[in-house]
């Protein structure tokens, strides 16, 4: 993609024997809000570090705004904003001092680009003389975002900005991202929370250094290859144990207050099959319905077959 904001082509990176990133290719459009969705150890942070020129890939090519991450690293560093997963501001400087420091470093002033951070900065302004180390988690996150934005970057890298943050602050943060997107900034954001995937324009599901799928969240959901059923009964744990023994069933796993179930036979009347089986096993207040999959269902589905099998039987994990 010639006009892409971020391009990774066959990027790999290993630490000793561990393949952290394994032959990954992604192209992100200018102005896109793109999500890397995956658990700890998926390789998300390694991808961020390669794109922000802090780590050299073993193989492959990567570009940010047309600049090569190896050859033109200086250009990239000037034009991007990066919020690492771990809080990396100066704990002994105040909120205002941190922001001034980052503005000065990039040859600008707080005033020059104030409109970009205004919405976010106003929320922490009452604490502008407080040392960064003394801020709450939510406020640290807002300050870090301001510092990453103060030089008006073209591309913003946010590595797990909402990890460990409660539901209310997470929603606020995504509202901020939507507003930033309207300013035309390309945003690459990572998260281990599957529900946040729906808030991105496109996502890459990633696990153990490999991409499981790249598309819009809606297309990923639409390509779920089976009919998905939700089932429950009074004793949901016993229902799960019983369904594990039922050989007409392909997968079954807990999902909130329901169990999610797929059948081996795509043409079967699953609602009837599951209901009747549960009834035979003596379950009470059984409910079964067809449902639309979520991103988390897709992720589980796309996870490698060995993992899936382990979930099915709850067998011990084996060395890979």
Stretch that binds another protein, among 60-68, 166-174, 213-221, 285-293 (CB under 8 A): 166-174
Least spacing, CB of residue 77 vs another protein, in Å: 28
β-sheet with 258-263: strand ranges across = 249-255, 258-263, 228-232, 287-291
Give CA–CA dist 260/298, Å, rounded. Answer: 12
59-64 and 6-15 as β-strands: parallel, antiparallel, unpaired? antiparallel
Using rule CB under 8 A, residue 2 touches another protein? no
Interaction of residue 175 with another protein, rule CB under 8 A: no
14 binds another protein (CB under 8 A): no
Cα separations in angstroms, 113 against 77, 121, 152, 182: 18, 12, 7, 16
* Chosen residue from 55, 61, 165, 291 binding another protein by CB under 8 A: 165
Among 132, 189, 194, 199, binds another protein (CB under 8 A): 194
User: Can residue 282 be called a binding residue for another protein (CB under 8 A)?
Assistant: no
The gap from C-alpha 14 to its chain's centroid, in whole angstroms, comes to: 21
Interface with another protein includes 46 (CB under 8 A)?
A: no
| Rounded distance between C-alpha atoms, residue 89 and residue 97, angstroms | 10
Per CB under 8 A, 130 contacts another protein: no
**Would you count residue 299 as binding another protein (CB under 8 A)?**
yes
Q: Which two tokens stand for residue 36?
A: 């890397």
**Of 55-63, 110-118, 250-258, 263-271, which part binds another protein (CB under 8 A)?**
250-258
Pairwise CA distance, residues 96 & 113, whole Å: 15
Interface with another protein, residue 137, by CB under 8 A:
yes
Binding residues among 252-271 for another protein as defined by CB under 8 A: 253-257
Residue 207 in the binding site for another protein (CB under 8 A) = yes
Q: Is 305 in the site for another protein (CB under 8 A)?
A: no
Shortest Cβ 134–another protein spacing (Å): 9
When asked if residue 38 is in the footprint of another protein (CB under 8 A), the reply is yes
CA 157 to chain centre: 12
SS3 content of the chain, % helix, strand, coil (to 5): 40, 25, 35
Q: Which H/E stretch holds residue 176?
A: helix 167-182
| Contact residues: another protein, CB under 8 A | 38-42, 136-139, 163-169, 171, 192-195, 207, 235, 237, 253-257, 296, 299-300, 303, 307-308, 310-311, 314-319
């Amino acid at each position: 993609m010639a006009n892409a904001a971020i391009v990774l082509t066959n990027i790999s990176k290993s630490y000793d024997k561990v393949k952290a990133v394994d032959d990954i290719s992604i192209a992100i459009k200018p102005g896109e809000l793109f999500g890397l969705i995956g658990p700890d150890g998926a390789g998300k942070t390694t991808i961020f570090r390669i794109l922000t020129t802090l780590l050299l890939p073993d193989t492959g090519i990567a570009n940010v705004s047309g600049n090569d991450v190896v050859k033109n690293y200086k250009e990239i560093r000037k034009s991007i904003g990066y919020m690492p997963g771990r809080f990396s501001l100066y704990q002994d400087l105040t909120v205002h001092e941190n922001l001034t420091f980052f503005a000065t470093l990039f040859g600008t002033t707080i005033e020059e680009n104030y409109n970009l951070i205004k919405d976010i900065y106003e929320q922490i302004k009452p604490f502008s003389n407080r040392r960064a180390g003394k801020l709450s988690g939510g406020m640290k996150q807002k300050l870090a975002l301001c510092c990453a934005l103060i030089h008006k970057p073209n591309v913003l890298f946010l590595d797990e900005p909402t990890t460990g943050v409660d539901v209310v602050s997470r929603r606020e943060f995504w509202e901020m991202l939507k507003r930033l997107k309207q300013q035309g900034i390309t945003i690459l954001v990572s998260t281990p929370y599957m529900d946040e995937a729906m808030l991105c324009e496109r996502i890459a599901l990633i696990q153990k250094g490999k991409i499981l799928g790249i598309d819009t969240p809606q297309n990923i959901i639409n390509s779920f290859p089976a009919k998905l059923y939700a089932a429950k009964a009074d004793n949901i744990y016993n229902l799960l144990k019983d369904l594990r023994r039922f050989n007409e069933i392909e997968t079954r796993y807990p999902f909130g207050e329901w169990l999610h179930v797929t059948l081996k036979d795509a043409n079967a009347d699953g609602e009837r099959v599951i209901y009747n089986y549960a009834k035979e096993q003596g379950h009470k207040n059984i409910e079964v319905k067809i449902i639309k999959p979520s991103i988390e269902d897709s992720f589980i589905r796309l996870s490698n077959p060995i993992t899936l099998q382990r979930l099915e039987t709850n067998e011990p994990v084996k060395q890979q």
